[in-house]
């Protein structure tokens, strides 16, 4: 079961880190950017950058999150690099999260679920489009928009993370408005997530339907951790967005489990601050993050 597998890797490595491969072309070292003028060349260099990073990090971190916006902006060629990155990370046995925040209804949601979690049939021949272990989704459309993903999760042993409380400041405009029963929207959405996950709870007590809960909101995170006991958290906002280990500690239960913490620019662009090669700097940053998190969270699952 996918969340069990992610948790076992976290326990093995004592590291609840997810490296965000938000590989904007501008993040690449100058020598890798030189001479590039079109999307095909961008795609080739971006994949080369990602491949070396994955080769460097796969024994240290359990998972990667690949933000699709940074590939789609380079057209169909960029999407080829996206596919290659997902597949290469899977080859290295990383748990792969497609950060696509998909949302639609009925048959369209089912298409998205097949695209990222299952298979597309072409005249009866099943093929994979952008294969990942998890995909992020947005729950504004209600159950019609989520259950097609849950069905695919059950069928293919995959997972989703639903946006609940995002890391950005203005998320509160929608997510922190109080409903007439006094519950804020994020908690109400969290309750839906807990319910959507009921059928897929694994041996560690977490379902395949996780929640995105920003590292930047410790109070909300503590409340969500309390009311969503079976929901695993994907935690963005560490580092560049201002979240730190102390702030996100409330996403974790007493046994040190409960979530995985994303860091994108802090690892991808570490070389810009620390010098050296991008991959050596990324490795040092990932190791420092592991220490930072484990110092605060404590032993994980032990």
The residue among 41 and 274 lying less far from a second copy, judged by its C-beta, is 41
Q: Does 170 bind a second copy (CB under 8 A)?
A: yes
The residue among 70 and 271 lying less far from a second copy, judged by its C-beta, is 70
All residues at 6 or more sequence positions from 136 whose CB lies less than 8 Å from its CB, including other chains: 97, 98, 99, 100, 101, 102, 160, 161, 162, 163, 212, 234
Binding residue (CB under 8 A) for a second copy from 3, 17, 22, 64: 22
Task: Candidates 88-96, 133-141, 220-228, 284-292: pick the segment binding a second copy (CB under 8 A).
Answer: 133-141
Here the tokens at position 267 are 């690892």
At closest approach, how far in Å is the CB of 141 from a second copy?
A: 5
Task: Candidates 88-96, 176-184, 197-205, 248-256: pick the segment binding a second copy (CB under 8 A).
Answer: 176-184
**91-120: contacts with a second copy (CB under 8 A):** 101-106, 108-109, 111-112, 114-115, 120
**43-82: contacts with a second copy (CB under 8 A):** 67, 69-70, 72-80, 82
- C-alpha to C-alpha distance for 73 and 24, rounded to whole angstroms: 9
- C-alpha to C-alpha distance for 235 and 222, rounded to whole angstroms: 13
Q: Does 266 bind a second copy (CB under 8 A)?
A: no
212 within 8 A of 136, measured Cβ to Cβ: yes
At closest approach, how far in Å is the CB of 129 from a second copy?
A: 4
- 101 noted as active-site residue: yes
Indicate the SS3 state at residue 56. helix
At closest approach, how far in Å is the CB of 96 from a second copy?
A: 16
**137-166: contacts with a second copy (CB under 8 A):** 138-145, 163, 166
Half-sphere exposure of 182 (CA within 13 A, CB side): 0
Report the 10 Å Cβ neighbour count for 140: 10
Number of residues that bind a second copy (CB under 8 A): 72
Binding residue (CB under 8 A) for a second copy from 188, 245, 287, 292: 188
- C-alpha to C-alpha distance for 82 and 102, rounded to whole angstroms: 16
In degrees rounded to 5, what are phi and psi of residue 142? 75, -165
Provide the pairing of β-strand 95-102 with 259-263.
Answer: unpaired
Q: Does 130 bind a second copy (CB under 8 A)?
A: yes
Q: Which residues pair with 278 in a beta bridge?
A: none
Q: Which of 33, 51, 80, 101 is catalytic?
A: 101
Question: So which residues are the catalytic ones?
Answer: 101
């Amino acid at each position: 079961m996918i969340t069990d597998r992610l948790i076992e890797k976290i326990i093995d490595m004592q590291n609840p880190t997810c490296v965000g491969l938000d590989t904007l072309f501008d993040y690449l070292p100058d020598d890798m950017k030189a001479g590039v003028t079109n999307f095909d060349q961008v795609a080739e260099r971006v994949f080369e950058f990602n491949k070396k990073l994955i080769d460097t990090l796969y024994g240290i971190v359990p998972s990667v999150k690949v933000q699709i916006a940074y590939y789609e902006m380079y057209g169909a060629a960029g999407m080829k690099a996206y596919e290659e990155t997902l597949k290469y990370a899977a080859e290295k046995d990383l748990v792969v999260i497609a950060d696509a925040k998909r949302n639609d209804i009925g048959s369209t949601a089912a298409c998205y679920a097949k695209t990222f979690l299952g298979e597309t049939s072409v005249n009866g021949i099943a093929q994979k489009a952008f294969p990942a272990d998890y995909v992020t989704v947005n729950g504004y459309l209600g159950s019609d928009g989520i259950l097609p993903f849950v069905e695919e999760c059950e069928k293919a042993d995959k997972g989703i993370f639903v946006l609940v409380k995002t890391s950005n400041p203005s998320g509160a405009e929608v997510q922190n408005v109080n409903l007439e029963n006094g519950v804020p929207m994020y908690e109400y959405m969290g309750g839906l997530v807990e319910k959507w996950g009921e059928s897929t709870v694994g041996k560690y007590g977490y379902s395949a339907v996780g929640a995105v809960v920003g590292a930047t909101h410790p109070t909300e995170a503590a409340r969500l951790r309390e009311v969503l006991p079976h929901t695993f958290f994907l935690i963005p906002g560490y580092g560049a967005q201002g979240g730190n280990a102390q702030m996100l500690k409330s996403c974790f239960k007493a046994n040190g489990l409960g979530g995985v913490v994303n860091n994108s620019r802090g690892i991808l662009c570490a070389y810009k601050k620390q010098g050296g090669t991008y991959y050596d700097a990324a490795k040092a940053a990932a190791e420092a993050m592991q220490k930072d998190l484990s110092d605060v969270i404590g032993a994980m699952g032990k």
